[in-house]
Amino acid sequence: MLNNRLALSQVTLDEPLPAWSLDPIAGEDVPVPSDFLGRPLLILFFSLGCPGCLGRAIPYANRMVYENGERLHVLGIHTNFEGVDFQPAQFAQAKADFYIRFPFYKDKNYDTTFLNYGAGGTPHWILVDADGKVRYSIFGSDPNNALLRLDLKVAEIFA
């Protein structure tokens, strides 16, 4: 994968999801996109420094896990385009405080995958179908805009 520092998206709708560049938080194995084939995948780019992520996006992702059980994978990518280095203890505390029900990893060099995937900020969502093809990409956490649209796209993918 290219180390994209020019914010040029390598994600194309109806094409396979490109590889990501992630780091473990506490020494766990980092999955690859092909590990999620067979079920749709919802990716959340988030930051612990983002109020919309903490207040709306993480609860929404938790709801997706709860409501969709084994039908949908949810994966978090902690990105930080401001370059703040969060420590493993901070991630563990956030996991407890926000009841995070989905696996999440750190973006390589704070924002490599964020840039490669053309994310617009945090939170940013990418929905991938069971065959690994990108179906939707949207920035935001407004319940009457981004999250409503995402609900519709998730419903479509199960139809």
pLDDT score recorded for residue 72: 97
Q: Name the helix (H) or strand (E) containing 42.
A: strand 41-46
Measure the CA–CA gap between 61 and 111, rounded to whole angstroms: 20
5 or 134, greater pLDDT: 134
Residue 54: pLDDT band by 50, 70, 90 thresholds? very high
CA distances from 115 to 8, 107, 111, 128 (A): 7, 10, 6, 18
Sort 6 into a burial class: Cβ within 10 Å, 0-12 / 13-18 / 19+.
exposed
Where in the sequence is the domain holding 87, given as residue range(s)? 49-158
32 within domain boundaries: no
For range 36-57, the mean pLDDT:
96
Q: Sign of dihedral through CA atoms 26, 125, 3, 10?
A: positive
19 within domain boundaries: no
What is the total count of domains within the chain? 1
Q: Tell me: the pLDDT tens digits for 91-100?
A: 999 999 999 9
pLDDT score recorded for residue 66: 97
5 within domain boundaries: no
3-state secondary structure of 135: strand
